Amino acid sequence: MVNPLDFAEKFAVLPKGIANRLNILKAVRIPGLVVLLLAITLLNFQVSAQQNSNGANKKFVVCIDPGHGGTQPGTFGKFTKEKDITLKLGLKLGEIIEKNMPDVKVIYTRKTDVTIGLKERAKVANDNHADLFVSIHANSLPESTPDQKRQSIFGTETYVLGLHKSQESLEVAMRENSVILLEENYEEKYQGFDPKSPESYILFSLTQSANHESSIYFADLVEKQFGEKAGRKSRGVKQAGFQVLWETAMPAVLVEVGYLSNTKEERELNTEQIQEYIASAIFRAIRDYKNKVKSLN
């Protein structure tokens, strides 16, 4: 097994990832607002740190959410189902955390190939008072996309809850949210939310989470690890209206680890080594995030 603490140095000379906080908040150019946003970030960290200090023995809790599962396969590659890749990566990430961070408690929304709704996934994190929620997914372009484009687009993306900034982000959110259509009584369960309607996503812009800035900070750590240390192409940190992120009560991200529509990347995502690199990158981001929270306590 690759040592996640040592592996980062192997890719130290790679170009920097494109994810950074100012890419997300391009409209925020006024210095006063930037200072305000940074202050909010620090406040969120301090609140999280105070919550962690309630009880001397309370561990930092990470909820790992392997996307899809059971009757919800997710997207497809030529020979891969998204649900299988996400489960392997989720279990590997948890194993690395437990081996290297004994002071962290790992919980999972699923550890086997079972069906679980988006609301139930968030409930697992909320009921266990998680400090961080990491949902793992794999991306794909529509089958109608010309093959040349399908083979030219690849790389990682890490999403936080927010109003989508592009049609591409909206389409990703719609695809991932569409799993609720497979759930019983979904209209009542999700209070009329329609994952296929762009109008439904206005809701997310009106209910920005208090953990938004902390989520952005962690998402940036993840993408920097991918782009700078793990040898993956980082496509950056993005915002979109993901139902599972909206339901959570802690800093939360949704990580798209690569494109199954890209044949080369699909093959890579099925290899033990690349899975180790990806899981180790997310682990190091979690470690750095936790250390930052602890330093503000």
List the structure tokens of 77. 């590659």
Q: How many residues does the chain have?
A: 297
pLDDT (average), residues 74-99: 97
Residue whose tokens read 């309370």: 58
Separation between Cα atoms, residue 19 and residue 220, nearest integer Å: 6
pLDDT tens digits, 193-224? 565 666 555 555 545 556 888 999 999 999 99
Between residues 176 and 94, the one the model is more confident about: 94
Distance from C-alpha of 154 to C-alpha of 143, rounded to nearest angstrom: 15
Chain-centroid distance, C-alpha 64: 9
Amino acid at 56: A
Q: Please give the C-alpha separations between residue 125 and each of 30, 50, 133, 134, 204, in angstroms, as whole numbers.
A: 36, 18, 7, 10, 20
Instruction: State phi, psi for 39 to the nearest 5 degrees.
Output: -65, -40
> CB atoms < 10 A from the CB of 224, how many?
23
Least confident of 40-49, 81-90, 263-272: 40-49
Average pLDDT, the chain: 79
Q: How far apart are CA 12 and CA 227, in angstroms?
A: 10
**Which band of pLDDT confidence, cut at 50, 70 and 90, is reported for residue 115?**
very high
Give the domain ranges of the chain. Answer: 7-140+154-295
Distance CA 236, CA 222 (A): 9
CATH entry 3.20.20.450 includes domain 7-140+154-295: no
Output the pLDDT for position 126: 92
Locate 213 and state its tokens. Answer: 């800035």
**Spatial distance between the Cα atoms of 253 and 276, rounded to a whole number of angstroms:** 20
Q: Are 215 and 242 in contact (CB under 8 A)?
A: no
Locate 87 and state its tokens. Answer: 């489960």
- Is the per-residue pLDDT at 15 higher than 60? no
The whole-angstrom separation of Cα 132 and Cα 215 is 9
Q: Is the pTM of this model over 0.85?
A: no
- Across the range 84-95, mean pLDDT stands at 98
**Section 268-289 average pLDDT:** 98
Q: Burial of 281 by CB count in 10 Å (0-12 exposed, 13-18 middle, 19+ buried)? A: buried
Helix (H) or strand (E) holding 135, with range, is strand 132-139
pLDDT of residue 178: 62
Strand bridging mode 252-259 / 234-240 = unpaired
Residue 188 has pLDDT above 80, yes or no: no
pLDDT of residue 161: 86
Task: Name the pLDDT band for 265 (thresholds 50, 70, 90).
Answer: very high
Residue, of 200 and 284, whose pLDDT is higher: 284
Place 52 in a pLDDT band, splitting at 50, 70 and 90: very low
pLDDT band at 244 (very low <50, low <70, confident <90, very high): confident
Are the C-beta atoms of residues 68 and 179 closer than 8 Å to each other? yes
Mean pLDDT lowest among 12-21, 146-155, 188-197, 277-286: 12-21
185 has pLDDT over 80: no
170 has a pLDDT exceeding 60: no
Percent residues over pLDDT 70 in the chain: 64
Tell me, what's the pLDDT at 248?
86
How many angstroms separate the CA atoms of 153 and 277, rounded? 20
pLDDT, residue 239, reads 87
